[in-house]
Structure 1
Amino acid sequence: MDIFSFDFFRRSLLAALLAGPTCALLGVITTSRGQAFFSDSLAHSTIAGYGLGLLIQLLLSQLLGISFSSVFISSFMFFYCLGVSLLFILFLNKTRLESDTLLSLIFTGSVALGILILTKMIRYPFLESLLFGDINACSWTDVLLLGLVSLSAFFFLFKNMPGLLLLMIDENMAVAEGVQVKKLNYQTVILIGGIIALSLKLLGAILVSAMIVIPAATAKLLAWNFRSLLFLSLLYGLLGAVGGVLLSYYIDAMTGPTIGGFEILLLLFSFFIKKFFKKKDSKKQLD
């Protein structure tokens, strides 16, 4: 049977096609600035966001008799991620706390609060879907929103790439060159928050940062300049996401972990390719 005849599979593949390259491109920015842990902490904060969303929905339903559609939780999660992103950058600018300290607080506090709420409200299978994702549950609305955010992300990143490149090299240099560092930081963090919120159904809270960090890390193994780093990151992001969806179908496995595992395989493959050519070049020099 042709797998493309299934509507859910077409949605899954399109979602992976959109999210993979976008997350990878954002990964270049975060990993180059030493902020890889930010995406991981923000992804884990969604556990608390999901729990709070369900709690608010339950309380309003019981107290006011308000009925909610399935869109409520997705919308709440999106704005929750944006809120956490803004709070992080605000506290980073207004307090003396280091970024890794703030991220650790977000990480541990959100996981503790989220698990506490969720284990009291829902059964384990639902929690499993949140943690590990279920891309096959994506609706066409989810795909459309992901497409809009992905287009916005590409437009923003390429428009501001000179300033972001200066930030990656040296923040003081960026300030000296007239880059609006604080504004750019806020915009980048909000963008990452939006992408993570919409990518949760692919990999879930535990593995979503893999789509951001791993393709960029893999590209760095083989890149020879910044342009090649961007191109290879996009390529690895696309291959990892789409390849993981296809592989999960054929081996009958959960899609989220399969995407993460497939991206790790791409990383290892690239590592051995680099080692192979490095040894080959060394032999030529000796000869």
Structure 2
Amino acid sequence: MDIFSFDFFRRSLLAALLAGPTCALLGVITTSRGQAFFSDSLAHSTIAGYGFGLLLQLLCSRFWEASFSNLFISSFMFFYCLGISLVFLFFLNKTKLEPDTLLSLIFTGSVSWGILILTKMVHYPLLESLLFGDINASSWTDIGMLGIVSLVSFFFLFKNMPGLLLVMIDENLAVSEGVQVKKLNYQTVILIGGVIALSLKLLGALLVSAMIVIPAATAKLLAWNFRSLLSLSLAYGCVGAVGGVVLSYYIDAMTGPTIGGFEMALLLLSFSIKNLFVKK
């Protein structure tokens, strides 16, 4: 039977085609600035966002008898993720705490609050879906929103790539060249938050950072300059996401972990290829 005859598979494949390259391109920015843990912490913060969204929905329906569509939780998590991103930058600028300390606080606090709320309100299968994702459940609305964010991400990153490159090299150098570093940092963090919030259905909170970090790390093994790093990251992001979706169908496995495992296999293969050429 032709796998492309299934509507859910076509949606899954399109979602992977959109999210894979977008996350990989953002991964170049985060890994080059030593902020790989940021995407992981932000992804885990959505566990608390999901819990608070359900709690708000329950309170509104109980006291005001208000009804909400399925889009409410997705929208709430999206804006919650953006809010957490801005809170991180605010405390980073206003306190003397180190970035890794703030990220650890976000990570542990969000997971603790989220699990505490969710275990009291939902069944474990729903919690499992949030943690590991379910790309096969993506609707055309989800894909449309992901497509819009992907277009915005590509436009923003390529338009601001010279400034981002200077910031990655040295922030003081970027300031001396007239780059508005603080504004660019806020815009980049908001963009990462939006992409993570909309990519949760692919890998879930536990593995979504794999789509951001692994392709960029794999590309760094073989890249010879920054332009090749961008190109290889896009290629690895696309191949890893699409290949994971197809492989999960044939081996009858969960799609999220399969994508993460397939991208790790690509990384190990690239590492072997690099060592082979180095020896020669």
* TM-score > 0.5, shorter chain as reference: yes
Query: Which residue number in structure 2 is paired with residue 44 of structure 1?
Result: 44
Query: Which residue number in structure 2 is paired with residue 15 of structure 1?
Result: 15
Task: Indicate the RMSD between aligned Cα atoms, in angstroms.
Answer: 0.4
Query: Which residue number in structure 2 is paired with residue 255 of structure 1?
Result: 255
Q: Deviations over 1:126-154 (max 9, x none)?
A: 00000000000100000000000000000
Query: Which residue number in structure 2 is paired with residue 270 of structure 1?
Result: 270
Residue 84 of structure 1, CA deviation: 0.4
Q: Find the aligned partners of 2:10 and 2:62 in 1 and give their Cα distance.
A: 38
Residue 264 of structure 1, CA deviation: 0.1
Residue 47 of structure 1, CA deviation: 0.3
Q: Deviations over 1:149-174 (max 9, x none)?
A: 00000000000000000011011100
The one-letter code of the counterpart of 1:265 is A
Query: Which residue number in structure 1 is paired with residue 161 of structure 2?
Result: 161
TM-score for the superposition, normalised by structure 1: 0.97
Q: Find the aligned partners of 2:247 and 2:58 in 1 and give their Cα distance.
A: 38
Q: Find the aligned partners of 2:137 and 2:53 in 1 and give their Cα distance.
A: 19
Q: Find the aligned partners of 2:63 and 2:264 in 1 and give their Cα distance.
A: 48
Query: Are 2:57 and 1:57 aligned?
Result: yes
Q: Within 5 Å, which residues of 2 pair with 1:59-74?
A: 59-74=59-74
Q: Find the aligned partners of 2:42 and 2:227 in 1 and give their Cα distance.
A: 28
The one-letter code of the counterpart of 1:242 is V
Instruction: State the structure with more CA Rg.
Output: 1
Query: Which residue number in structure 2 is paired with residue 285 of structure 1?
Result: none
The one-letter code of the counterpart of 1:49 is G
Residue 274 of structure 1, CA deviation: 0.3
Q: Find the aligned partners of 2:274 and 2:180 in 1 and give their Cα distance.
A: 38
Q: Find the aligned partners of 1:123 and 1:50 in 2 and give their Cα distance.
A: 13
Residue 94 of structure 1, CA deviation: 1.0
Q: Deviations over 1:2-61 (max 9, x none)?
A: 111111111100000000000000000000000000000000000000000000001101
Identity between Structure 1 and Structure 2 (%): 84
Structure 2 unaligned segments of length 5 or more: list them. none
Q: Find the aligned partners of 2:77 and 2:137 in 1 and give their Cα distance.
A: 16
Query: Which residue number in structure 1 is paired with residue 206 of structure 2?
Result: 206
Residue 183 of structure 1, CA deviation: 0.2
Residue 232 of structure 1, CA deviation: 0.2
Query: Which residue number in structure 2 is paired with residue 119 of structure 1?
Result: 119
Q: How many residues end up aligned between the 2 structures?
A: 280
Query: Are 2:144 and 1:131 aligned?
Result: no
Q: Find the aligned partners of 1:2 and 1:140 in 2 and give their Cα distance.
A: 21
Query: Which residue number in structure 1 is paired with residue 241 of structure 2?
Result: 241
TM-score for the superposition, normalised by structure 2: 1.00
Q: Find the aligned partners of 1:206 and 1:175 in 2 and give their Cα distance.
A: 36
